[in-house]
């Protein structure tokens, strides 16, 4: 389509290409219009799947309403009562442990045990 050795663009070939492109577009429009006229009864988006999904959802909701809810067991109620009463912890033998001492007594006990550990370390070195 190109002639070598010439100066500037070749306007004749450009016009031919434009005309060919316009003819293709016009033909495509005609075919599209003809196809639209020949199939008027067909819908593009089917509505049945949407209806089916809403019906199945309604059935599921009805089924959920009919199900019996689990009742709270007496064990759970006892656990709640024990938490509220704050029962002292028990050993494996069933004996209750003493209450936690105040922070001052714990601090003094810590200092005494610290001194004992230091004494053992000096003896063993």
Q: Does residue 51 sit within a domain?
A: yes
Q: Which of 49-53, 79-83, 111-115, 121-125 has the highest mean pLDDT?
A: 111-115
Overall number of domains in the chain: 1
Q: Is 78 contained in some domain?
A: yes
113 pLDDT band, cuts 50/70/90, is very high
The fraction of the chain above a pLDDT of 90, given in percent, is 22
Convert 51-77 to b/e letters by CB count within 10 Å (16 or more is b). eeeeeeeeeeeeeeeeeeeeeeeeeee
36 domain residue, yes or no:
yes
Taking the C-alpha atoms of residue 85 and residue 113, their distance in angstroms, rounded to an integer, is 34
**Is residue 94 included in any domain, yes or no?**
yes
Residue 1 lies in a domain: no
Best CA proximity match to 12, nearest among 21, 25, 3:
3
25 compared with 105, residue with greater pLDDT? 25
Mean pLDDT for the chain? 78
Q: Does 2 fall in a domain? A: no
Structure tokens at 9: 């663009």
Structural domain includes residue 87: yes
- Would you say 39 and 28 are in contact if contact means Cβ atoms under 8 Å apart? no
Domain containing 65 equals 11-124
Asked if the structure places residue 4 within a domain, the reply is no
């Amino acid at each position: 389509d190109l002639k070598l050795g010439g100066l500037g663009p070749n306007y004749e070939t450009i016009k031919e290409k434009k005309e060919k492109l316009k003819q293709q577009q016009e033909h495509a429009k005609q075919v599209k219009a003809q196809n639209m006229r020949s199939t008027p009864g067909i819908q593009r988006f089917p509505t049945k799947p949407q209806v089916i999904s809403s019906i199945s959802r309604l059935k599921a909701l009805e089924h959920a309403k009919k199900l019996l809810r689990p009742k709270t067991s007496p064990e759970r109620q006892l656990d709640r009562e024990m938490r509220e009463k704050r029962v002292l912890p028990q050993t494996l033998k069933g004996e209750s442990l003493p209450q936690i001492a105040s922070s001052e007594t714990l601090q003094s006990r810590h200092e005494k045990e610290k001194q004992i550990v230091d004494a053992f370390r000096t003896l063993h070195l």
